[in-house]
Chain A
């Protein structure tokens, strides 16, 4: 069985962001990118299953420009066998559904039986692409997993449920699982891994090569658009309660009761 891993590059979370002139996106020229942290759990899970003899090949899938190749190489250095990068001018301005369309087409074309993606990407923070891929592939899905096992054509996973509960679920492959913290501890690339990765293949695919209609992706097909991007409202200046600890604490309780009315 082949395992597909969705790998996205995102601005490092501690990056300072600058918003573009029409307030629709950020400026990325001096942004430092890294692998989306949740996708590291996804890759690690795939590599473990391969080591356990449950998979023959681990392939990463990325929608992104040539600048994403450094992150893709990092994935190969950690142990992925090869990578597919989907890149096409027609994809500019895609919404989540547009991305899912090309990812689903690529995953299907490779015949993967199991897909691991991240719980969410830490830039858009949407948590929508994996379930959309599952629908478009006709696969089942399990969201926010922190435990995953596969036996033959069946899987068992532990996922987030309401009210802080977690559920144990079972189902059949193919499945798209979105990976949460706690699933595993991702490995880093080793020097031999980095050297080996140099000769591994990154296949670049266009929308047409995937058999996807260019009119179904990109800005023209986007059902969702972002406007008016701006910084969050400033919080009113806070108050440091001075004096000795005892008087600061009683002043705090008074403020919480009488001013803020939250207790």
Chain B
């Protein structure tokens, strides 16, 4: 195994996702070894060189057109073998969550998931991640020759592309339809077209206090739209049917890491905090000055959300 770091880069609509650039830039900043990119499927990989990859390992086959555990796991294994990289890093995405534990078991590789920090400890990469619903952080050390880490989106800022170019190495993994063990037969679009919560830069969330789906739609969503933010919700709001299951933030919902998180009428229960406490700026609006959320808020307004939210929206519109 070499000290090369292989970065799994996901694409959307033909362009690398922001998380791919975040990972590449972080991998370069680690200074622990040369950085290469892994692309599964067909994609224009020129942006990857500009963000620090010196090589792009590309695995393509018709059977990789949509995600399947079997074909992707095989693709990851082939790219690791072809590159000889000792470290694979990926964003904590749904693909990574599904395929990488399987890959780790196949290769006997240590897997450190959901890291919010990756650092270089004398040439060895160490992760740090929240455990116990964010009540503690722990270093994740990997002993095996191949180490795999996943990093939560938005853990590091993405700077301008430093420039550069990568050579493309095509990896033949011998993938056929027979590797597609579980087949995708349909997709269901999310309720909204906004950026997915886990990758969102800005989030406006509403709680039980919204009292109805109609009010949630009338108060939380327009403010989110005005900020270019994604709407989120507490579990109490989701369970009451004010927002969709996919919109729940927290330990049993989505873990988010935006630069701005606005909580409207959310008390700040530990399970909700577990999903959003790493947000860079937290704004809390709550009529109860004793609400626990204020202990975590960067800025707080004690007041009625039905008054504050529309005013905030109007103030933003004023520019």
Interface residues in chain A, defined as those with a beta carbon under 8 Å from any beta carbon in chain B: 11, 13-14, 16-17, 19, 26, 37-38, 95-97, 100, 122-132, 134-136, 140-144, 146, 156, 158, 160-172, 175, 181-182, 222-232, 235-236, 238-241, 245-246, 248-250, 252-253, 255-256, 260, 262-263
New A-B contacts (17) at CB < 8 Å, excluding given A229-B139, A231-B136: A16-B135, A97-B105, A124-B131, A132-B101, A135-B73, A144-B97, A162-B10, A167-B67, A169-B184, A223-B110, A225-B143, A229-B137, A238-B300, A245-B301, A245-B304, A246-B311, A263-B202
Interface residues as binary, B246-285 with A (CB distance below 8 Å gives 1, 0 otherwise)? 1010011100000110000000011100100100111110
Q: Which residues of B contact A125 (CB under 8 A)?
A: 114, 130-133, 251
| B131 pairs with A123, CB closer than 8 A | yes
B226 to chain A, nearest CB (A): 10
Interface residues in chain B, defined as those with a beta carbon under 8 Å from any beta carbon in chain A: 10, 12, 67, 69-70, 73, 93-95, 97-102, 104-106, 108-114, 128, 130-144, 181-190, 192, 196-197, 202, 227, 245-246, 248, 251-253, 259-260, 269-271, 274, 277, 280-284, 289, 294-304, 307-308, 311-312, 315-316
The CA of A238 and the CA of B282, in the complex, are separated in Å by 9
Q: Which residues of A contact B184 (CB under 8 A)?
A: 167-169
| A245 pairs with B94, CB closer than 8 A | no
Whether A143 touches B315, Cβ cut-off 8 Å, given contacts A128-B113, A248-B301, is no
The CA of A253 and the CA of B99, in the complex, are separated in Å by 42
The CA of A120 and the CA of B316, in the complex, are separated in Å by 39
Q: Is chain B's binding surface mostly helix, strand, loop or mixed?
A: mixed
| B299 pairs with A227, CB closer than 8 A | no
A113 to chain B, nearest CB (A): 16
| B69 pairs with A238, CB closer than 8 A | no
Q: Which residues of B contact A235 (CB under 8 A)?
A: 277, 282, 296, 298
| A146 pairs with B245, CB closer than 8 A | yes
| B253 pairs with A222, CB closer than 8 A | no
| A240 pairs with B300, CB closer than 8 A | yes
A98 to chain B, nearest CB (A): 11
| B202 pairs with A262, CB closer than 8 A | yes
Q: Is chain A's binding surface mostly helix, strand, loop or mixed?
A: mixed
Name the contact of B132 in the complex, choosing from A17, A95, A142 (C-beta under 8 A): A17
Q: Which residues of B contact A252 (CB under 8 A)?
A: 283, 299, 301, 312
A-B contact list, 14 entries, CB within 8 Å: A17-B136, A96-B101, A140-B181, A141-B102, A146-B245, A163-B190, A167-B67, A172-B181, A223-B142, A232-B277, A238-B299, A245-B308, A252-B301, A260-B280
Q: Which residues of B contact A232 (CB under 8 A)?
A: 130, 134-137, 277
| A128 pairs with B111, CB closer than 8 A | yes
| B98 pairs with A143, CB closer than 8 A | yes
A195 to chain B, nearest CB (A): 31
List the count of A-B residue pairs having beta carbons below 8 Å apart: 254
Name the contact of A135 in the complex, choosing from B12, B106, B136, B183 (C-beta under 8 A): B106
| B183 pairs with A226, CB closer than 8 A | no
A51 to chain B, nearest CB (A): 24
| A245 pairs with B311, CB closer than 8 A | yes
Whether A249 touches B301, Cβ cut-off 8 Å, given contacts A164-B196, A166-B187, is yes
With both beta carbons as reference points, the residue of chain B lying nearest to A23 in the complex is identified as B138
Which of A16, A100, A140 has the most chain B CB within a 10 Å cutoff? A140
| A167 pairs with B105, CB closer than 8 A | no
The CA of A130 and the CA of B77, in the complex, are separated in Å by 19
| B182 pairs with A169, CB closer than 8 A | yes
Q: Which are the 6 A-B pairs with shortest beta-carbon distances?
A: A223-B110, A164-B190, A171-B182, A168-B186, A131-B101, A128-B101
| B271 pairs with A13, CB closer than 8 A | yes
| A100 pairs with B105, CB closer than 8 A | yes
| B143 pairs with A161, CB closer than 8 A | no
The CA of A172 and the CA of B112, in the complex, are separated in Å by 30
The CA of A263 and the CA of B267, in the complex, are separated in Å by 24
Whether A13 touches B270, Cβ cut-off 8 Å, given contacts A171-B182, A231-B136, is yes
Whether A224 touches B133, Cβ cut-off 8 Å, given contacts A136-B105, A140-B182, A169-B183, is no
Q: Which residues of B contact A169 (CB under 8 A)?
A: 182-185
| A228 pairs with B142, CB closer than 8 A | no
Which of B182, B184, B315 has the most chain A CB within a 10 Å cutoff? B182
Q: Which residues of B contact A231 (CB under 8 A)?
A: 135-137
With both beta carbons as reference points, the residue of chain A lying nearest to B113 in the complex is identified as A126
| B95 pairs with A162, CB closer than 8 A | yes
Name the contact of A224 in the complex, choosing from B69, B111, B135 (C-beta under 8 A): B111
